[in-house]
Amino acid sequence: MSTLELKQITKSFGATKVIRGIDLAVNHGEFTVFVGPSGCGKSTLLRMIAGLETATSGDVLIDDVRVNDITAAERGLAMVFQSYALYPHMSVRQNLSFGLENIKTPKPEIKRRVDEAARMLRMEALLDRRPGQLSGGQRQRVAIGRAVVREPKIFLFDEPLSNLDAELRVQMRVEIGSLHQRLGNTMIYVTHDQVEAMTMADRIAVLKDGRLEQFGRPLDLYNRPANLFVAGFIGSPRMNFLSAKLTEATGICAFATVDGGGTVKVPCVAAGAPGSAVKLGIRPEHIRPVEAGGGDIALKVTLTEQLGGESYLHGTVPSGEALSVRLPGQTRVTRGETIGVVLGESNLRHLFDAETGLVFEPADAEG
């Protein structure tokens, strides 16, 4: 069992508050991704879990034991660094066995584990080389191997793929995923790439400005974003937001008039008074184009992107706000044309309080 729990963790560097109180519980064997824009504190949070930084206040619990005062060396975790941080003066084999030597593992056991990790990561042929003689992808493997041989309670990954090219990144993503399935360890993975987060995570923690915005399964984050930030951050291309006015709110659904367009129905519990400003969120893949003059709102297309299998329309609505549409297959709509669009099925729409940015909870969440 390896669980991790963060209780009201904060971290300040001098007067700068980097982490502003985070509560989080990671279950055993879970692959958790910390995602957020750069500077959101996700790496700092990871380093606090690792023990490389001390928390200013709050507790870190591993297996229900408070580890705030236990050094990184004694926490029994393993970390893969963004720069790999391989020891340049040691061979790959020495890099892998260094950690095991430090905890006084018997020699035959070290050899067994190193060989096993090398086989698992397909780097048997590299064991006698120095890190300087390896390619980026190979170094990445060694860095992961160094974590694997330790058989740690929890794996920590700090943006491990950011130095790789796109093709290698996809490949390593798959490898780390399959490694998790094979080992079944608890893993915590930090990235700023929401695609990595969506594809790899069991649960995603979205961070912004040192706060936890939302923590949940990838599809829950996609389907039920808690606020404007998460809605905009998860999903590619990002969700469209249109300013609107609340016109009517019943207990189970709300009606909002989009600026420069028609009134749409959103099944949610809107708390605001009629006339208050709201944001309507709708994903590009849920918008359907119709003939000009039809639909919920007019869209003046300024750019079309034809990818063959799918197409994107980018344009502006009468209020001047940008709107993107993702269509399956190919489209005949050309630049400069004005079309009408249907703003999705009602249950695919999201309504946010324009002031707080919080979502109005869907009606079925109540029941």
d(CA 161, CA 183): 20
Report whether 197 contacts 35 (CB < 8 A): yes
One of 102, 171, 178, 338 touching another protein (CB under 8 A)? 102
d(CA 216, CA 294): 37
Is the preceding omega at residue 237 within 30 degrees of 0, hence cis?
yes
Q: Which is nearer to another protein, 65 or 271 (CB)?
A: 65
291: enclosing H helix or E strand: none
Q: Which is nearer to another protein, 142 or 230 (CB)?
A: 142
Q: How many CB atoms lie within 10 A of CB 224?
A: 17
273: enclosing H helix or E strand: none
88 binds another protein (CB under 8 A): yes
Q: Which is nearer to another protein, 85 or 195 (CB)?
A: 85
Residue 75 C-beta: closest distance to another protein, Å: 9
# chain residues binding another protein, by CB under 8 A: 32
d(CA 136, CA 164): 7
One of 150, 153, 173, 203 touching another protein (CB under 8 A)? 150
Per CB under 8 A, the segment of 75-83, 110-118, 294-302, 357-365 that binds another protein is: 75-83
Which 117-146 positions form the footprint of another protein (CB under 8 A)? 130-133, 136, 139, 146
One of 6, 79, 256, 287 touching another protein (CB under 8 A)? 79
Which 6-65 positions form the footprint of another protein (CB under 8 A)? 50-52
Over the range 268-294, which residues count as b (16 or more CB within 10 Å of their CB) and which as e? Answer: bbbebeeeeebbbbbbbbbbebeeeee
356: three-class secondary structure by DSSP? coil
Residue count of the chain: 367
Report whether 156 contacts 34 (CB < 8 A): no
Q: Which is nearer to another protein, 3 or 94 (CB)?
A: 94
Residue 197 C-beta: closest distance to another protein, Å: 23
What are the phi and psi torsion angles at 332 (to 5°)? -100, -10
Q: Which is nearer to another protein, 74 or 165 (CB)?
A: 74
Q: Which is nearer to another protein, 8 or 102 (CB)?
A: 102
Q: Which of 99, 102, 164 is nearest to 138 (CA)?
A: 164
Q: Which amino acid is at 168?
A: L
One of 2, 18, 55, 84 touching another protein (CB under 8 A)? 84
- Region at 255 (left for phi over 0; alpha for psi -120 to 50; beta for the rest): beta
Q: Which is nearer to another protein, 105 or 331 (CB)?
A: 105
The answer for residues whose C-beta is within 8 angstroms of residue 60's C-beta and 6 or more apart is: 4, 5, 6, 7, 9, 48, 49, 66, 67, 68
Which 284-323 positions form the footprint of another protein (CB under 8 A)? none
Q: Which is nearer to another protein, 150 or 349 (CB)?
A: 150
72 binds another protein (CB under 8 A): yes
One of 10, 12, 29, 98 touching another protein (CB under 8 A)? 98
One of 85, 195, 342, 348 touching another protein (CB under 8 A)? 85
Residue 87 C-beta: closest distance to another protein, Å: 6
One of 78, 121, 161, 206 touching another protein (CB under 8 A)? 78
Return the half-sphere exposure (C-beta side, CA atoms, 13 A cut-off) of residue 79: 18
Q: Which of 46, 116, 55 is nearest to 81 (CA)?
A: 46
Q: Which is nearer to another protein, 25 or 73 (CB)?
A: 73
Residues that bind another protein (CB under 8 A): 50-52, 71-74, 77-79, 81-89, 98-99, 102-103, 130-133, 136, 139, 146, 150, 163
